[in-house]
């Protein structure tokens, strides 16, 4: 009896072996991938509404969902347009890989309440010798027209004029614009003043001398005015030459040929200045004569700047 049992077991294994050999490739290629479509609200839709589908993905390495394996956005059929396609990775908890999110928009309005189907699609996974696809079944949703069929041709179904846009309160913007304009005007005025001051500071020596002489010409006390005016011309000559100018080195002023016509008047001024300030003889040159000399030097400066 034990021998018959042993023979029976051997016969059973012999019969099972071909099945194991046939199923071996299937077990070798079976993929540890699971997709779980989440429930979708199945009712309450009308034209323009959006319907969202979510599919949980579970996969163990090395399998991953390919982005190319997601359905492309666009018109799916007469009813639905796929407007959003996304994949949100999740932390690798219990093999969870992430979630696929699809958003469909209902493009048409059924004449009466109708059951519609969100389309079937496949997800593609890579990681093995060949890609693997998983099918996602279609889902029924219930859509209805905006108005009942009996409303066709009534005032409810009539086309309405566009609603006029509401006026936008602009008072606060007007106040801001006024404030910005005043601020901009202040900044521009400040920049112009600063530029003018900078230009005055950068003015040539005899340009500044002419301004000072004009101020001196309108001041009281003629004797004091004349002495101060001579000092102004001296400073301008020193600045032009880059050193203190006397009769002994006056030729340094006329190294440049364009100043030659001013040699005689400048030499006379220096001679009178020596008599006035060092010998105490004679009277200072009149302010008008000094202004004329300064204007001549200013013209020479302007012509060769």
pLDDT of residue 201: 56
Return mean pLDDT, the chain.
81
pLDDT of 283 over the 80 cut = no
Report the b/e string of 270-304 with b at 16+ CB within 10 A: bebbeebeeeeeeebbebebbbebbebbbebbeee
Give the mean pLDDT of 3-8: 59
Using one digit for the tens of pLDDT, what is the confidence trace for 243-281? 888 888 888 888 888 888 888 888 888 888 888 777 667
pLDDT of residue 26: 44
Using one digit for the tens of pLDDT, what is the confidence trace for 196-219? 766 655 678 888 888 888 888 887
Using one digit for the tens of pLDDT, what is the confidence trace for 147-183? 776 666 666 666 677 888 888 888 878 888 888 899 9
Give the mean pLDDT of 121-136: 88
pLDDT of residue 120: 92
Residue 239, classed as helix, strand or coil, is helix
Residue 116, classed as helix, strand or coil, is strand
Evaluate whether 253 touches 267 at the Cβ level (below 8 Å).
no
Using one digit for the tens of pLDDT, what is the confidence trace for 11-50? 665 666 655 555 444 444 455 888 899 999 988 899 999 9
Evaluate whether 121 touches 62 at the Cβ level (below 8 Å).
no
- Range from 107-111, 149-153, 190-194, 294-298 carrying the lowest mean pLDDT: 149-153
Q: Which of 55, 71, 167 is nearest to 119 (CA)?
A: 71
Per-residue confidence at 3, pLDDT binned at 50, 70, 90? low
CA separation for the pair 205, 233 (Å, rounded): 9
pTM: 0.43
CA separation for the pair 58, 9 (Å, rounded): 40
Q: What are the chain's domains? A: 33-147 (2.60.40), 205-303 (no CATH)
pLDDT of residue 13: 59
CA atoms lying within 13 Å on the CB side of residue 108: 12
Q: Which of 46, 64, 42 is nearest to 110 (CA)?
A: 46
Q: At what angle are helices 263-274 and 287-303 packed, to 10 degrees?
A: 140
CA separation for the pair 300, 92 (Å, rounded): 87
């Amino acid at each position: 009896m034990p021998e018959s049992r042993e023979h029976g077991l051997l016969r059973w294994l012999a019969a099972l072996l071909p099945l194991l050999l046939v199923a071996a490739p299937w077990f070798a290629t079976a993929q540890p991938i699971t997709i779980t479509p989440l429930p979708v609200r199945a009712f309450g839709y009308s034209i323009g509404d959006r319907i969202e589908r979510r599919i949980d993905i579970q996969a163990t390495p090395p399998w991953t969902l390919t982005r190319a394996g997601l359905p492309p956005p666009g018109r799916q059929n007469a009813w639905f347009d796929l407007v959003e396609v996304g994949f949100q990775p999740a932390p690798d908890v219990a093999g969870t890989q992430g979630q696929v999110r699809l958003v469909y928009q209902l493009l048409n309005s059924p004449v009466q309440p109708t059951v519609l189907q969100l389309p079937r699609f496949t997800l593609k996974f890579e990681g093995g010798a060949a890609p693997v696809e998983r099918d996602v079944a279609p889902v029924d949703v219930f859509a209805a027209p905006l108005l009942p069929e009996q409303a066709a041709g009534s005032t409810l179904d009539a086309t309405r004029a566009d609603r006029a846009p509401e006026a936008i309160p602009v008072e606060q913007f007007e106040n801001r614009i006024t404030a910005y304009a005043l601020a901009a005007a202040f900044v521009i005025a400040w920049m112009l003043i600063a530029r003018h001051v900078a230009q005055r500071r950068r003015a040539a020596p005899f340009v500044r001398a002419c301004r000072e002489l004009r101020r001196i010409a309108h001041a009281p006390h003629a004797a004091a005015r004349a002495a101060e005016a001579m000092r102004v011309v001296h400073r301008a000559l020193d600045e032009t030459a880059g050193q203190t100018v006397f009769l002994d080195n006056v030729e340094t002023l006329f190294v440049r040929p364009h100043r030659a016509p001013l040699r005689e008047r400048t030499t006379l001024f220096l001679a009178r200045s020596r008599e006035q300030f060092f010998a105490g003889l004679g009277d200072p040159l009149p302010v008008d004569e000094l202004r004329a000399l300064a204007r001549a030097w200013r013209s020479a400066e302007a012509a060769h700047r």
